[in-house]
Amino acid sequence: MEKINDAITERIQAMNARVNMLKSADLYFYNQPITELRGGARVLVNGREMGMYASYSYLGLVGHPKINAAARDAIDRFGTGTHGVRTLAGSLTLHSELEETISEFKQTEAAITYTSGYATNLTVVSTLVGRGDYVISDKLNHASIVDGCLMSGAKFVRFRHNDMESLEQRLQQIPSESAKMVIADSVFSMDGDIVDFPKMVEICRKYNAWLMIDEAHSVGVLGKSGRGIEEHFNMPGSIDIKMGTLSKTIPSVGGYVAGKKDLIEYLRHASRAYIFSAALPPAQAAAAKAAFEVILEEPWRVEKLNQNASQFITGLKERGFDTLYTQTAIVPVICGTDEIAFSMTSAAQHQDVFVLPVVSPAVPPGLARLRATVTAAHETDEIEHAMDVIYQAGKQIGLVN
Ligand SMILES: Cc1ncc(COP(=O)(O)O)c(C=O)c1O
């Protein structure tokens, strides 16, 4: 076949050239094969045991015996796959039991599940808003939200990151009779900061806007029992559309929305990722259900996570690093240039601390970073050691004194 030379070819070549350049400089850290998980806080990577500081298993639930047993039992009862979409022949009792568990956990009337958090945002946003409506999104919202907004055909309005004045200004410019939905992450996935929820709720009420919150990084993290942002601010019933993922604190895969019965019934009959895509596999549904139960049965995990996050943030700041405004287990260690972020990663990984670099376009140029996370599975001395390694790397590279 003759080679086509067009914009598509150029795009492929440009990306692959960047990847190859990093690989040849030994600075490519993505997609590394993990051969074994050792207790949640440690992993075997390319035959080397490393401390894991890039995991979203915030409560250390991967491999939990009750969750593993639930998954095994589901395979014994239902096999490994659903045989189609939920609406037709793929709905199992396991799915409705999971949805009931989620709605109880999130203190709503009902819930619906999808096969990933990404698909959930895409389908829910684009089902609820469309041409002639407005969707108003924080500038640092997750890519899946941005993609859902773009796909919806609604007017896509963005406000300055976590700036409620900017949100209000945008809403003032929208005709009052138009349908509008405000969307934000509860905890921002790159910076770890928490949305100004009380003010956002107040503004949404004032302007009759629906409020959708993505709780990917707040379930198991915020609130005394880990129920999320409403519990954290003691503001039950404030969110119209509570979105979350089953792939971070919950050691499974999938996504969900919890809310009023009417909303969920509508999504079950109108959202395309539900109607036209196969259901969650039995093992994953059962594992997710068991995980929500474990969070409530073992509340020490949320407490330990909070202690670990605060040790990590305080310790890195004391060592001279800029960690932006994080208040959670996602801790950005600002490096500045992509090159410094890659060198920091290389130095840390050579000392068996598994952190990863996040560079542009995932974050703005000049704000390349290590995005480090701690979980409830880490011990105090392990965290101290990891911080010392990051500090030595920073000193060697001239990022800190
Ligand atoms: C804020 C946020 N929303 C949604 C997603 C997508 O979730 P999933 O990995 O389940 O597709 C992620 C995952 O990175 C996320 O960080």
Query: How remote is the CA of residue 255 from the centroid of ligand 1, in Å?
Result: 8
- For residue 247, the ligand 1 atom closest to its alpha carbon is 10
What is the SS3 assignment for 127? helix
Per-residue tokens: 256: 């969900």
Predicted confidence (pLDDT) at residue 5 exceeds the cutoff of 90: no
What region does 366 belong to: left with phi over 0, alpha with psi -120 to 50, or beta?
left
The pTM assigned to this predicted structure is: 0.96
Amino acid identity of residue 80, one-letter, is: T
Pocket test for ligand 1, best of 58, 144, 222 (most atoms within 8 A of CB): 144
Exposure of 207 in the CB half-sphere (CA atoms within 13 A):
26
- Cα-to-centroid distance, 114 and ligand 1 (Å): 12
* Mutation choice for ligand 1 from 123, 142, 221, CB with most ligand atoms inside 8 A: 142
Ligand 1 centroid to 222 CA: how many Å? 17
Q: How far is ligand 1, taken at its centre, from the CA of residue 319, in Å?
A: 31
Residue 6 Cα to ligand 1 midpoint, Å, equals 32
Residue 84: pLDDT over 90: no
Residue 397 pLDDT exceeds 90: yes
The per-residue DSSP string of 293-305 comes to HHHHH-THHHHHH
Quick count: other Cβ atoms within 10 Å of Cβ 223?
17
Give the pLDDT score at 3: 77
Note the pLDDT of residue 89.
86
Contact of 40 with 59, CB cutoff 8 Å? no
On whether the CB atoms of residues 367 and 338 are closer than 8 A, the answer is no
User: Can you give the pLDDT at residue 114?
Assistant: 97
Measured from the Cα of 141, ligand 1's closest atom is 1
Residue type, 115: T
How far does the centroid of ligand 1 lie from the alpha carbon of residue 91, in Å?
Answer: 24
- Closest ligand 1 atom, CA of 144? 4
The shares of helix, strand and coil residues in the chain, as percent rounded to the nearest 5, are 45, 20, 40
Ligand 1 center to 183 CA (angstroms) = 14
Token digits of residue 360: 């542009």
pLDDT at 208: 98
Over residues 183-197, the mean pLDDT reads 97
The H-assigned helical ranges of 326-379 are 338-350
Determine the atom of ligand 1 nearest the C-alpha atom of 253: 10
Q: What angle do CA 332, 335, 340 make, to 5 degrees?
A: 135
pLDDT in tens, 36-55: 888 779 999 988 999 999 99
Residue 85 is classified by DSSP as: B
**Distance (Å, rounded) from C-alpha 246 to C-alpha 113?**
9
- pLDDT tens-digit series, residues 283-318: 999 999 999 999 999 999 999 999 999 999 999 999
Q: 357: CA distance to ligand 1 center in Å?
A: 18
Q: How far apart, in whole angstroms, are the C-alpha atoms of residue 250 and residue 254?
A: 9
Give the pLDDT mean for 117-143. 98
**What's the gap in Å between 294 CA and the centre of ligand 1?**
21
Question: What residue spans of 129-220 are helical by DSSP H?
Answer: 143-152, 164-172, 197-206
Which residues sit with their C-beta closer than 6 Å to ligand 1? Answer: 116-118, 121, 142, 144, 185, 189, 214, 216-217, 245, 247, 255
Spatial separation of the C-alpha atoms in residues 304 and 302, rounded to whole Å: 6
Percent of all residues in the chain with a pLDDT value above 70, rounded to a whole number: 100
Ligand 1 atom closest to the CA of 246, numbered from 1: 10
Asked whether the predicted pLDDT for residue 2 surpasses 80, the reply is no
The more confident residue out of 360 and 271 is: 271
What stretch of H or E contains 383? helix 380-397
pLDDT-based confidence at residue 275 (cuts at 50, 70, 90): very high
- Cβ proximity of 102 and 256 under 8 Å: yes
- Residues in Cβ contact with 192 at an 8 Å cutoff, skipping those fewer than 6 apart: 217, 323, 324, 325, 326, 327, 328, 329, 330, 331, 332
d(C-alpha 276, C-alpha 285), whole Å: 18
> Of the candidates 196, 281, 225, 1, which has an alpha carbon nearest to the alpha carbon of residue 107?
225
Pocket test for ligand 1, best of 58, 116, 118 (most atoms within 8 A of CB): 118
Residue 90 is predicted with a pLDDT of 84
Which pLDDT belongs to residue 101?
98
